[in-house]
Amino acid sequence: MSEISYKDAGVDLGKIKQSHNKIAKALAETFTFRKGKLGEPVTKIGHYAGLVDIGDRYLALHSDGVGTKVLIAQMMNKYDTVGIDCVAMNVNDLICIGAEPAGLIDYIALEKTNPELIDELMKGLIKGAKESGIAIVGGETAIMPDVIKGYREGYGFDLAAASYGFVDKDEVITGSTIKEGDILIGLESSGIHSNGYSLVRKVIFEKAGLTVDDTFPETNKKVGEILLEPTRIYTKIIRKLIHVITVHGIAHITGGAFTKLMRIAPDGLGFEIHLPEPPTVFKVIQKLGNISDKEMYKTFNMGIGMVLVIPEEEKGKLFKVMDNYCIKAYEIGKIIREPTVRVNGIKLV
């Protein structure tokens, strides 16, 4: 059985990383256009969110989309949950820098005018906004024949958003205070979230030949139901935690999965991670696709949606706070004096 990688599914993360570095360098030039003015950028491109100086505090900005999970929605002909994913992908990144998410502007590109589809997408966006306490202050709906396609005729769409939040200048969390010996806390995910769907689709539909209406192997749920499960929103729990305990770093496990942890690590430090038993969905995808452990850890959250880096002495207090929320937390490793990310003994970067 041949092994499938994310690259085979059309997404070359290595090439993308190179491209990102080049973009970051090019965009840094634009920071000089606001030098000494209101809204001068203060962070380097490449963190979870950009920060700009608005006087007494920072404005945090971020942009993210739902990716090819939109195709699963079309397969299921169910569009009222991907809006939740869209909000989650945005606010979960904003909180990684310590910001309180405050609002979002959506961007919907459609194959053709389809008000019913937009109504359903809005339902999810509003539900996500409510859960994360943000306002949706605007949006753009673009009708893009010949640019947008999809699985279901007339229902092709892309869903993304830009989001913003605020953070007091002395409350920014970049990871710069992370120390050797700090422990890693993983917060459970609600499934695949919104990354890796090109690979998921290749494995589940092409290779295994399943449909959204089939039962997902080793579960009693349908394939579509499992693949459309909305991304968990961590805003409330993280906002609570950072006001109660000392948090050195926060990482949303998103595109690039555990490889992206390095962007919050100070020079010379890295991550030694031992994941708990992954949820069934990941075990099944790995088995059906004959995917290597390394490829899995580079692509999927493996059951951990957020990673917090905290001083060991804060552990007791953290688990006490967590008890009041319906999100499980696991101690999953520690910060090591080696600039690498190792998951279950496998070096990712």
- The angle, 0 to 180 degrees and rounded to 10, between the axes of the packed helices 115-132 and 82-94 is 40
Q: Return the structure tokens found at 217.
A: 């192997």
Torsion 123-126-132-136 (CA) sign: positive
| Binding test (CB under 8 A) with its own copies, winner from 8, 78, 80, 118 | 118
Residue 67 within binding range of its own copies, rule CB under 8 A: yes
242 binds its own copies (CB under 8 A): no
For residue 88, give the DSSP letter.
Answer: H
Tell me the site size for its own copies, rule CB under 8 A.
87
Question: Binding its own copies by CB under 8 A: which of 75, 91, 160, 187?
Answer: 160
Site string for its own copies, 120-159 (x = CB under 8 A): --x---x--xx--xxxxxxxxxxxxxxxxxxx----xxx-
Each as own residue / partner, the long-range contacts of residues 221-224 (CB below 8 Å, 24 or more positions apart, any chain) are 224/72, 224/75, 224/76, 224/78
Q: Is 344 helix (H, G, I), strand (E, B) or coil?
A: coil
Residue span binding its own copies (CB under 8 A) among the ranges 37-45, 212-220, 299-307, 331-339 = 37-45
Contact status: 236 vs its own copies (CB under 8 A): no
Answer yes or no whether residue 61 interacts with its own copies by CB under 8 A. yes
CA distance 126 to 132: 10
* Binder among 1, 36, 55, 267 for its own copies (CB under 8 A): 55
> Scanning residues 1 to 20, which ones bind its own copies (CB under 8 A)?
9-12, 15-16, 18-20
Q: Is 82 among the residues that bind its own copies (CB under 8 A)? A: no
Which of residues 105 and 322 has its CB atom nearest to its own copies in the complex? Answer: 105
Site for its own copies in 161-220 (CB under 8 A): 161-162, 164-166, 198, 201
> From the CB of 227, what's the least distance to its own copies, in Å?
14
Is there binding between residue 80 and its own copies (CB under 8 A)? no
Residue placing its CB nearer to its own copies in the complex, 103 or 303: 103
313 binds its own copies (CB under 8 A): no
Q: What are the C-alpha distances in Å from 50 to residues 83, 183, 216, 329?
A: 23, 26, 39, 28
Distances (CA, A) of 284 to 32, 74, 304: 49, 23, 17
Residue 222 DSSP class: B
| Cβ nearer to its own copies, comparing 53 with 214 | 53
Rounded to whole angstroms, the Cα distance separating 237 from 242 reads 9
Tokens read off for 254: 């998103």
Give kind and range of the element (H or E) at residue 74: helix 69-76
Can you tell me which of 4, 84, 103, 298 binds its own copies, judged by CB under 8 A? 103
Residue (145 or 268) nearer to its own copies, CB: 145
Span between the terminal Cα atoms of the chain, in Å: 27
Using the rule CB under 8 A, give the single segment among 109-117, 211-219, 270-278, 335-343 that binds its own copies. Answer: 109-117
Q: How many CA atoms lie less than 13 Å away from 272 in the CB half-sphere?
A: 11
